[in-house]
Amino acid sequence: MSEYVSLGKRVSVSAIRDYLFVKKIDKGDSLILNIADYEHVLEEIKKSGEPVDIPLNIFGVLIVKDRNGDVPIGKVQIVEDDKM
Banded model confidence at residue 3, pLDDT cuts 50, 70, 90? confident
Closest CA to 59 of 79, 32, 30: 30
Answering whether pTM is above 0.75, one says yes
pLDDT of 51 higher than 90? no
